[in-house]
């Protein structure tokens, strides 16, 4: 990978599933990061630029209540990897609606899991390891779901390593 072809990682998921917490945990591990925020009354998209020896990459995600059908395409467009975050603390029906919206948008902008790598993260906020969207995620991803407890920074090292491994295997 060269600096001219940055790797864009879109962190996706319903509001309040822990995207920000996970990304900020990753940001703390990389002190050379630079955070920028694109915000107004309709959107809040955070970009974390991370320079590494294997190349430059950017994490992008929409924050909290700003996750909606107009912001989702901005986050996904141009992504070379999608990290989809699910939480046991948010009602499954709410997450299912957002999941369907992200998958439909990903297909439209060319970043469906058939086109770019997707990692699935189950962020638990209680001692429950069930995946509330197990039936929505294709079966070939089930054994690779990363389990995290973002507020306790558990599972962050595994997530970071899986991101790096995916970046390194990029053609």
pLDDT of residue 24: 92
> pLDDT tens digits, residue range 78-117?
999 999 999 987 888 999 999 999 999 999 999 999 999 9
Nearest to 34 by CA among 51, 16, 13, 21: 51
119: which strand partners?
83
pLDDT of residue 84: 96
> pLDDT tens digits, residue range 26-82?
999 888 899 999 988 888 899 999 988 777 889 999 987 778 888 999 999 999 999
Q: What is the pTM of this model?
A: 0.91
Task: Give the tokens for residue 101.
Answer: 């919206």
Q: If you ran DSSP here, which 8-state letter would residue 99 be given?
A: H
Most confident listed range (41-45, 122-126, 146-150): 146-150
Give yes or no for a contact between 22 and 11, defined as CB atoms under 8 angstroms apart. Answer: yes
């Amino acid at each position: 990978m060269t600096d001219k072809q940055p790797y864009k990682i879109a962190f996706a998921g319903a509001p309040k599933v822990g995207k920000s917490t996970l990304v900020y945990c990753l940001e703390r591990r990389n002190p050379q990061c630079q955070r920028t925020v694109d915000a107004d009354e309709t959107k809040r998209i955070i970009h974390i630029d991370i320079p590494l020896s294997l190349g430059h990459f950017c994490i992008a995600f929409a924050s909290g209540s700003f996750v909606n059908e107009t912001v989702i395409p901005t986050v996904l467009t141009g992504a070379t990897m999608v990290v989809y975050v699910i939480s046991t603390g948010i009602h499954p029906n709410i997450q299912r609606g957002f999941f369907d919206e992200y998958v439909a948008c990903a297909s439209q902008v060319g970043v469906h899991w058939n086109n770019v790598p997707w990692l699935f993260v189950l962020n638990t906020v209680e001692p429950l390891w069930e995946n509330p969207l197990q039936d929505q995620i294709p079966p070939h991803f089930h054994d690779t779901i990363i389990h995290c407890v973002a507020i306790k920074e558990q599972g962050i090292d595994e997530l970071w390593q899986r991101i790096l491994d995916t970046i390194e295997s990029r053609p």
